[in-house]
Structure 1
């Protein structure tokens, strides 16, 4: 069962906890499909199964708390932690991935944490790497909260609003189609009627034969 199917199968009250948990674990540094979980929950909110504000708040909390835990782990473990993870999970924590993430941190500083929330590769690195590179916690926390609010809240709001518009449009599509079909049918009937009348008027009247004298 895929993560989206799993989320849709649990009771609505559990969706909030699952979304926060999945995003939180991903933010710690464990690769999980947090974005898929968030979008799935937002689509469920479109259907009225869950509340969009509840989804957004749980997602923000999971992102901020998870990143903070990842920061603490990275600060304690340092770079040797990433080297160990790289040997065990090269597809996620390999030297190339680590080098790319480090370059981003050196280039953007604390904003790498903010932008990292929107980039799959940096999302699992942001917290632990910020801690390993000894970024001041207040800088990390500022970027962490801003990134969590913009990513989790923004994604939920965007998916919810777009979903509502699409749902409304699809819901009225059957009525629009019916009206168009009726108008089209009436229009076609009138056109055909006018063409038939014009053709009838253009045809010469049949002549009446005179009687033949005896």
Structure 2
């Protein structure tokens, strides 16, 4: 693919800086190939062009920095935007209260595991900020997720070297399939329990919806 070849050129020319900025921008909510950049840099490291430890450290640091940027953007500006324009994507006041309830109960898990799901990776931190997940708690799960993610994908690319591209496609397809199945099951669960969740959310956040606050 021409794009992949272009990414190879970017990594070859800018090395660690490219890894850091691509991962950081993706983590902050900008749709860039941060994970692909990490794997590509790890493959370069397998040939001796880069140091794998520095590649992993750059990716982990970038994930933490980018996620924190997304978190604070969501915390400061996200709620008014979602509250005002959410109706255009079928997000009503009840849905926002349910989101607040879920983040209050499972916010740390969402932040950690969101790092490993392509769709969530760019938005989990923003949503955590929108729902005012306490920053110390966010930072702990964010740092753990970033370090584990960078280590797993960096080591995978380094150990498999160029063979990683052979394995990456089926692994990526399997991960995508798992994510789709998980999303379908989650949507069915939420749909089945929607009335209960909405009732619990209304009890937890009675009255008109206001911007979330830290519990």
What's the CA shift for 1:33?
A: 1.6
1:30 aligned partner: 30
Deviations 1:153-209 (A, max 9, x none): 221012211228x69xxxxxxxxxxxxxxxxxxxxxxxxxxxxxxxxxxxxxxxxxx
Equivalences, count: 159
**Which whole-Å CA distance do the structure 2 matches of 1:37 and 1:5 have between them?**
11
- Bigger radius of gyration among the two: 1
Secondary structure, aligned partner of 2:49: coil
Aligned counterparts of 1:7 and 1:140: Cα–Cα separation in 2: 31
Matched residue, 1:9:
9
In the superposition, the TM-score normalised over structure 1's length comes to 0.64
Task: Check conservation: 2:27, 2:121, Cα contact below 8 A.
Answer: yes
Provide the C-alpha distance between the structure 2 equivalents of 1:84 and 1:43, rounded to a whole number of angstroms.
44
Aligned to 1:113: 111
Any residues of structure 2 matched to 1:17-56 within 5 Å, and which? 17-56=17-56
Task: Map Cα deviations across residues 135-170 of structure 1 (whole Å, 9 max, x no partner).
Answer: 000000000100000001221012211228x69xxx
Once the 2 structures are TM-superposed, how far is the Cα of residue 14 of structure 1 from its aligned partner? 1.5
Runs of 5+ unmatched residues, structure 1:
168-214
Residue 118 to residue 132, structure 1, CA distance change in 2 (3 Å): same
Correspondence 1:125-136 to 2 at 5 A: 125-136=123-134
User: Paired residue for 2:59?
Assistant: 59
CA distance 1:14–1:151, change in 2 (3 Å): same
Runs (4 or more) in structure 1 with deviation over 6 Å come to 83-87
Q: What CA distance in whole angstroms lies between the structure 2 residues aligned with 1:85 and 1:24? A: 26
TM-score (norm 2): 0.64
Q: Work out whether residues 7 and 41 of structure 1, in 8 Å CA contact, stay in contact via their aligned partners in 2.
A: no
